Each structure stands twice: as C-alpha cells, then as structure tokens.
Chain A
Amino acid sequence: MSPQQIPGLKDARADSGPVITVQHLVKKYGEFYAVNDVSFSISEGEIFGIIGPNGAGKTTTVECISGLRVPDSGSINIHGLSPHKDRNRIREFLGVQLQESSMPPRLKVGEAVKLFASFYPNPLNSDGLLETLGISHVKNSIYKKLSGGEKQRLSIALTLVGNPKIAILDELTTGLDPEARRETWALIESIRDRGATVILVTHFMDEAERLCDRLALINHGKLIVLDTPEAIAAQAGGKRVRFVPSKPVDDETMYAIPGVKEIERKEAYVTVIGAGDLAASVIDSLTRIGVHISDIEARGGNLDDAFVKLTRDDTSKVQERPQS
C-alpha cells in the first residue's frame, strides 16, 4: 500500500479516526524506565501536545513513534503500520524534527532543502517553503553562518519539505526569540490547516495552551493526564489571589480565611489558592486584623499552575491545608 492509498489521508480533517495509536508503550535504558506504560491515540488533523518536565520521557516517546527507537514492549500503530517494521513506508509521510541535531557546517540552506526534497515522492516546492518560513534570504548561506532562529526554521523546512501527513516537532521553539516563536506557531497552525497531524513536544506551557487540541502530560515516564488544555488548566484548582501584606501573616491566620485552600509564599508575595469570592474574603479578613494589602492580583488557574501542581502531586504530596 502506497501512502496515497492510505484511507483518509487526502482529506484529513473530514474524518477524525485515530491516525496514531500508542498502547502500553515501555522503553527502558538499562534499568531505567524512560517510558513506562504510556497509551494514547491521536486523531487526524489534531495538534497533539506532549508536555512534561525535562527527562520525563517525552522525546523517547516520539522517538519510538518515529521509528528511531524500538520499544521494549507495547505497540504503536500509524495508519495501520508499525514504525519499526514498516519504517520505510512510514517515512514517506512522517516528518520528524529532532531536538539537538545539526547539519554539515558548509551545507547551504537551499541545498539542504533540495536534498531532503529529493528523498520524498511528492515534495513541496523548496523555494516556496523557504519563502513561507521566512528564510529565503539566506538560501545561499551556509549552515554555520545562520542565526539560532534561522537554523531552527531550516530544521522545520527539512521536516515539512516532504509534505508529511504527520509532523513530529520536538522542542521546536527552544532558543527562538519571542517574535520568531509567534511566527513558528502560526506556521504550525498552517501545517494543520493543510490537513496534517502534528505532534508537538514542548516544555512551554503558553505554546501548548495556544496550539494544542489535546495534551498528554508525561512525568517519570508515565502518562499523568490526557485532556484538552482547558480541562487540564481547570485541574489547577480554583482561583489565585496574589498580594503583598503590610506585615507578616502566619499560615494559621491565612488558612482561617474562608475559601483558602493552599498558600504559596515567594519573597514578599503571598499567593492563596481557593474557591468562592476569594479576593474579597482575603481583603476583608486581613483588614479586620489590621493588615493592609497591596499589589493585589486575582486570576483563575492556568495550564502553568496545573503543570506545576500535577508534576508536584506526582512526586510529593502538595502542601495542603491541615485537616482540622
């Protein structure tokens, strides 16, 4: 079966059956479990994020999907094919951008893209792609003269030039300046809009929140949670009120305030996490005992909070309000 004949590849977003199914994936390095029983499936046309702290097993997971590593157990299915056994067929429609991979120092941008285009059955137009990525002006520059952002874009170009149906992007925006990051995000959305499925490995929560349809949070090789960014953010639990008190207030007094569930302190700032009309009750209670508060900021929990909470929950219990 050639990739053209794989069902659903043509009009990707019309049908959202799983394109990739990972079941009970296990990968060990010696005695160390890099990935330990991870399962998920990815729908066609989805931007699927894999997040987690450094060393969580994110890269190993996508390396197994892209066929660069052979799992110790479990199964991976991409359009009915196995990344390991059918690697040649899968490579024609799977584009992989690797973390920390560089190129021959004197290879020119245009040459690299044309070379990679020559590897694929239906490549994109190289010049058009460089234009889209905003690196057509360095087409004749050699790799070692490129800036970090240009190298990163070239790496993306090499991933996309084969016109992949599935793109795996590992730590795509690391090392890019804020403007380049935003442009790269727009680019990822355009890949998806063309009908491709994207797997995005990242440790930037803003990136995950902004781009991904669903997120898999991996920590210590295990899948902690798999849901939409909104649903995961909701797990951060309640509202947050951050302020600077005019004089120190001990934990006991803070926990006595109605609605307060958790307290975090950083320098002069105190953050309380809880429910109800939190800001009002904090101001009320503290004013009553003669503490004035300034620099007050109230917000709902976001993905960042959820990430910190979920990865911390996983290692040690959160410091919660003592039961009385």
Chain B
Amino acid sequence: MTSMQGDSKDGRFQGHFAEILRVEGKLALREPTGLAMGIGFPIILLVIFGLIGMAVPGNVAGTGRTVLDIYVPVIMVIGFISLGISSLPVTLVKYREMGWLRRVSTTPTAPSRLLAAQLTLNLVLALATILIVIFGSELVFGATLDVGIPYFVLSIILSISVTFSLGLVVAALAPSQTVASGLSGGLFFLSLFLSGLWIQPATVGGPLATIMYYSPSGAAVEALLYSVFNVTPPYTAIITMVVYALIFMFIAIRYFRWE
C-alpha cells in the first residue's frame, strides 16, 4: 500500500468541517426530500397565494394588502418549519440510529461537526427560501412589501432559531427514526396550523388567536408580518420567540445523545 502525506496540521479542523459539509451537500442533492420540503413546498405555496393575490386584488379586511402580502411571512415560516422541524431531526436521528455518528466519533473528528454541517446546510436552504419568497412575491406576483431591514433580520434570526431548535429537541428526545418521523410530522402540522396557513389569528380572534400569537410559529409569523411592512413588531412576538428558543436549546443540549 502506498502512503500519501496528508494535509498539514494547520487548518485540518476547518478541513474536516469543509469536507463533511461538501459530502452532506452532495447527499442532500442525492436524496432531495429535504430540499423538496424546504424549498419546493414554499414555492408551491408562493405560486398558489400569488395566483390568488392576482385574482382577488387588494385590500384584505381593509388593510390595503393583497392575500399574498399577508401570506409572505407564513410561507417563509413554513419553509423554516419544513427544514428545521421535519428535515433536520429526521436526518440526525437516522445518522444516530445507523451508528454513523458513532462511527465518525471513532476518528479524530468530532461528530458535532456532522451536526454543524447539517445545521449549516439547512440554514443555507432557509436563506434560499427567504430570497425566493421575497423576490418571487415582489417580482413575479407584484407584492408590495416594504421590508424594514433591522427588524426583518432580527425576526428571521429568531424564527430560524425557534424552528431549528425545536427540531433539535425532536432529535434529542426521539429514540428512533420512526418516533422522530412521527413526532416531527405531528409538530410540522401543528406548527403549520399555528402559523396561520389555514386561518389567520386576526380572523379567528378569541383564545385561539392568543394561542397562535404565543406559539413558536405564530410569533414568528407575527414578527415577520410587521417587519416586511416596515413596522416595528410587537415586543411580545420577539420575547415569545426568544423564550421558546432558549427553552428548546436548553432541552436539546441537555438530552442530545450521540449514540
């Protein structure tokens, strides 16, 4: 067997991560369910609500907004939910269940780099979703957004934090892939409902609206809805997301197992 000198010690650890990320990226393209859920689903919703918005012009409940305008934040949050709550934990639990995390942990690399690569990958997809939804809705379907950058960025960061950390809770608590799929499937539809995909909290009112506003996905939609029209989001929405994200991260870190 011939021996080949490897990379020098410097930069090796960044090298590990770059190589893992590259391989994870290829795997994601080869098994594109995550991609389809994370980006495909928001695109489909964008087209549906875009067409509705064009067919039924203007003025939802006297706000001066089209249906699409109102739904832009919902569609973005649904993208984060698909990636963070469905795709991410199922992959991680699958890796754990098949012994892949354990296998990697026998090498000089830490399995946490696999986790970091998965997070990075889904984060990139989430950013792609944001760009597609914002520019798609404005350029293709003529939405009239007025994105207030500082609050928008803050709301996006918190929305992604809250959905991804909820996904990590699933990854931490689910003992098997079957349980993870079931759990994330349930949370997926619950989050979809609370985000206001079927009914908006403003229309239902009463206690249900309160529940929606104080749910992780509902708070995310609310904060983004204000931000995309350059209005300061209610502090309750921001604080709700911060609290959820901290709780979810605590649980995920406390209970995550590598094997």
Which chain B positions have C-beta within 8 A of A118?
6-7, 15-16, 19
Which chain B positions have C-beta within 8 A of A115?
19-20, 23
Of the four ranges (under 10, 10 to 19, 20 to 34, 35 or more), the interface on chain B belongs to: 20 to 34
Instruction: Check A30 for interface membership: any CB of B closer than 8 A.
Output: no
* A122-B3 contact, Cβ under 8 Å, with A88-B108, A91-B107: yes
Is the Cβ of B108 less than 8 Å from the Cβ of A119?
Answer: yes
Which chain A positions have C-beta within 8 A of B98?
101-104
Is the Cβ of B16 less than 8 Å from the Cβ of A124?
Answer: no
Q: In B27-60, which residues have CB < 8 Å from any A CB? A: 27, 30-31
Nearest Cβ distance between residue A260 and chain B, in whole angstroms?
50
| Per-position 1/0 for B75-109, Cβ under 8 A of A | 00000000000000000001100111011011111
Instruction: Check B254 for interface membership: any CB of A closer than 8 A.
Output: no
Instruction: Check A121 for interface membership: any CB of B closer than 8 A.
Output: yes
Is the Cβ of B107 less than 8 Å from the Cβ of A106?
Answer: no
Among A88, A116, A119, A124, contact of B2 (Cβ-Cβ < 8 Å)? A124
Nearest Cβ distance between residue A103 and chain B, in whole angstroms?
6
Is the Cβ of A120 less than 8 Å from the Cβ of B1?
Answer: no
Instruction: Check A107 for interface membership: any CB of B closer than 8 A.
Output: yes
| Per-position 1/0 for B3-33, Cβ under 8 A of A | 1111101001001100110010011001100
Among A120, A125, A158, A190, contact of B103 (Cβ-Cβ < 8 Å)? A158
Is the Cβ of A106 less than 8 Å from the Cβ of B31?
Answer: yes
Is the Cβ of B102 less than 8 Å from the Cβ of A68?
Answer: yes
Which chain B positions have C-beta within 8 A of A123?
4, 6
A101 to B96, CA, bound (A): 10
Instruction: Check A267 for interface membership: any CB of B closer than 8 A.
Output: no
A117 to B9, CA, bound (A): 14
- The segment from A20-28, A92-100, A199-207, A273-281 that touches chain B is A92-100
Which chain B positions have C-beta within 8 A of A103?
98, 100, 103
Among A111, A125, A129, A132, contact of B23 (Cβ-Cβ < 8 Å)? A111
Instruction: Check A299 for interface membership: any CB of B closer than 8 A.
Output: no
| Per-position 1/0 for A120-147, Cβ under 8 A of B | 1111110011001000000000100000
* A98-B102 contact, Cβ under 8 Å, with A111-B23, A129-B1: yes
In chain A, what residue has the closest Cβ to B29? A106
Interface size in chain A (residues, C-beta < 8 A): 39
A116 to B7, CA, bound (A): 13
Is the Cβ of B1 less than 8 Å from the Cβ of A132?
Answer: yes
* A128-B1 contact, Cβ under 8 Å, with A100-B99, A118-B15, A158-B103: yes
Instruction: Check A36 for interface membership: any CB of B closer than 8 A.
Output: no
Instruction: Check A162 for interface membership: any CB of B closer than 8 A.
Output: yes
* A98-B106 contact, Cβ under 8 Å, with A123-B6, A125-B3: yes
Nearest Cβ distance between residue B20 and chain A, in whole angstroms?
7
* A104-B3 contact, Cβ under 8 Å, with A118-B19, A119-B16: no
Is the Cβ of A98 less than 8 Å from the Cβ of B30?
Answer: no
Which chain B positions have C-beta within 8 A of A119?
16, 107-109
* A68-B1 contact, Cβ under 8 Å, with A101-B100, A102-B100, A106-B31: no
Among B5, B7, B30, B106, contact of A96 (Cβ-Cβ < 8 Å)? B106
A129 to B107, CA, bound (A): 17
Nearest Cβ distance between residue B259 and chain A, in whole angstroms?
8
Instruction: Check A66 for interface membership: any CB of B closer than 8 A.
Output: yes
Q: In A262-298, which residues have CB < 8 Å from any B CB? A: none
| Per-position 1/0 for A35-68, Cβ under 8 A of B | 0000000000000000000000000000000101
Instruction: Check A163 for interface membership: any CB of B closer than 8 A.
Output: yes
In chain B, what residue has the closest Cβ to A190? B1
Is the Cβ of B26 less than 8 Å from the Cβ of A122?
Answer: no
Q: In B53-71, which residues have CB < 8 Å from any A CB? A: none
Among A114, A122, A162, A163, contact of B107 (Cβ-Cβ < 8 Å)? A162
A190 to B1, CA, bound (A): 9
Nearest Cβ distance between residue B181 and chain A, in whole angstroms?
16
Instruction: Check A194 for interface membership: any CB of B closer than 8 A.
Output: yes
A158 to B106, CA, bound (A): 10
In chain A, what residue has the closest Cβ to B107? A119
* Interface pairs (15), CB distance under 8 Å: A88-B108, A98-B99, A101-B98, A104-B95, A114-B19, A115-B20, A117-B6, A118-B15, A118-B16, A118-B19, A120-B107, A121-B6, A125-B2, A128-B4, A142-B30
Add 14 more A-B contacts to A119-B107, A124-B1 (CB < 8 A): A88-B108, A101-B98, A101-B103, A102-B99, A103-B103, A106-B31, A118-B6, A121-B6, A121-B12, A122-B5, A123-B6, A125-B1, A142-B30, A158-B103
